Structure 1
Amino acid sequence: MEKKYNITPINSIQGEKMEEHLNSLTKPQGSLGGVEEIAIQLAQITGEDFPEVTPPGIIVFAADHGVACEGVSAYPQEVTVQMVHNFLDGGAAINVLGKQIGAKVEIVDIGVAADVERIGLHMKKIRHGTANFLKENAMSREEAWQAIEVGSDMAASVIEKGAKCLIIGEMGIGNTTSSSAILSALSGLDVKNVIGTGTGINPDQLKWKQQVIRQSLQERNPDQNDPIDVLMKVGGLEIAGMVGAILKAAELKIPLLVDGFISTVASLVAQRLYPEVRGYLLIGHRSMEAGHQHAIKMLEKTPILNLGLRLGEGTGAALAFPILIAATNIVKEMATFETAGIAEKI
């Protein structure tokens, strides 16, 4: 069932060419800081002198988590399906931000506990939510790979339709619990260092969430060196879907603009499967979730924005996207010292 991906390292020579071009523009060298670093990375990813990131494509994967029944979230599980309807009605934050950046938002039911049949919804359900991983494995190894394949196929479809940059998002009550468990398993960090309030739980609920994750990891004993084993034991179907989308985007040399904690954990799983993936990732923002800084550090990345966000859905990445446009426009439209007839630094 395991699918192989042909992910090659990013193009370092193209990056050097871009750096040379940026240094020839009418500004002090390096004066646009992180914007220049983004331009260099986009050149490395695409292999192009003048990379394009428009139009962007947004894919939101929705799934439920059996562990939600343990009271680890501030919201009941029914909110997952209710938010799927909200996405399809165009009423969610990601719809607003997607419209702002000219992206079509694709919604994928990869594991919602309820059955939803609506026009515009990609019905790719692997199962009706994961099992409660406090009691048993979240899913089978085959189901984890099936979910990865769904994500891969969705990414391929969106890219085939013209997307030059991929933004991934998620919806699933309980998914910060799953992400914290995955991060703890992959990093070896103690649970207390990687958990946060998620959708807004109180201190007592946070303590309970920590206990649930710690006990689950003891019971399931996921193999740190086998990312699929971690995914099947304490993961989520929407997290697996995002892993697949990341792998496909990297294979097709499309920049992957990652959102917050949950999608960064999915990126970490993808990077553990294929180390070359790291070069194709840009982290949209720094989440308020405690574990996010650890996941970012493990990927050796610097987030573009730091606005105190903790919504998910892909919203932080959508907010960061205009910075990518700025980077590409600087490269295409700024004059060089030579063309502008301006003397360079002595």
Structure 2
Amino acid sequence: MRNLLIISFTISILTGCQSTPPTYTGTAESCDFNQINATSFMPTEMTKKYITNTFKSTPDSYDPQLRNKDYFSPLQTESFKFTGKIVPKTFSSQYKKEDRVEINGIPYVFNGYEWAEIVTESCKIYWYDRGNYVNMMKNGSVKSDGSEFTIADYKSFFGEKNFQELTIAPARVEHDKFKESIIIRGDDDDGILFRAWGSTKTNKLNDNNVQLYARVKFIENWAHLDLAFDEDANKRQLTKIGTDVDCSSSSLGLGCTLTETVGIEIPVSYLRTKQNGFQIKVSGSREAIITVKGYQVKQILAGIEPFI
């Protein structure tokens, strides 16, 4: 019995109570951090405060070092680089989704959702939690030299294969001979898209407006959206389309996600002045900001051009 207790105690020292992370090894027994061909990053102060929300000791859902602050102490003072080693997340096929961002007017798409190995200046290794949303992750780290991210830095941070320039397909045009109608649809970007209607009789739009279709999400309480204003303080007509309730995360204490789907009428003339994108505020008992990307504006303008 005494031997069993000793073995059990030894295992706990080697795993759950380990005080320092393993040292990065390659062809040698230690790394030369400055010679690693990758951008150097540091966690922001907020990320450092909640370091185990972003960095893990192992690429797994359960981290045996979760409550061991000393284990992650190098990340409080040192820079880190991505080594290029990744491990797909469990249930990646179920939860992985693409995120589209615009940088200097050019659209890019990120599709990662994985664990990515990093190494610190003292050659300690950890695993970075790559999620689905570019801006959320980018806001948690800065470049070590304080400069702004370049495209090369985005690729270093998010993974070369994960972060690519987005090729925009033309807006989809559908003809319905039974209704004698035409519908032009842009890409759905996280619940936001443009659409417009025309007539097969005239081969023209029904009017000089397009609809901004938006699924607006709230937690716990409905907003009962009924007003919309663009960023130039113009009131826009809002039409309620539908609602949806998702309580799949309520067991985690996150509450139900309530979705209000609305359509907002936008003049074509206004879109032509907003080809770098714009914002719309929608409100009721609560409010939200809808951000429309420039590529979406350009896409729908090109799509409706033959019907104007």
**One fold, TM greater than 0.5?**
no
Kindly name which structure, 1 or 2, has the bigger radius of gyration based on alpha carbons.
Answer: 2
TM-score (norm 1): 0.23
In terms of fraction of residues, the more strand-rich structure is 2
In terms of fraction of residues, the more helix-rich structure is 1
Tell which has more relative contact order, 1 or 2 (C-alpha 8 A, sep 6+).
Answer: 1
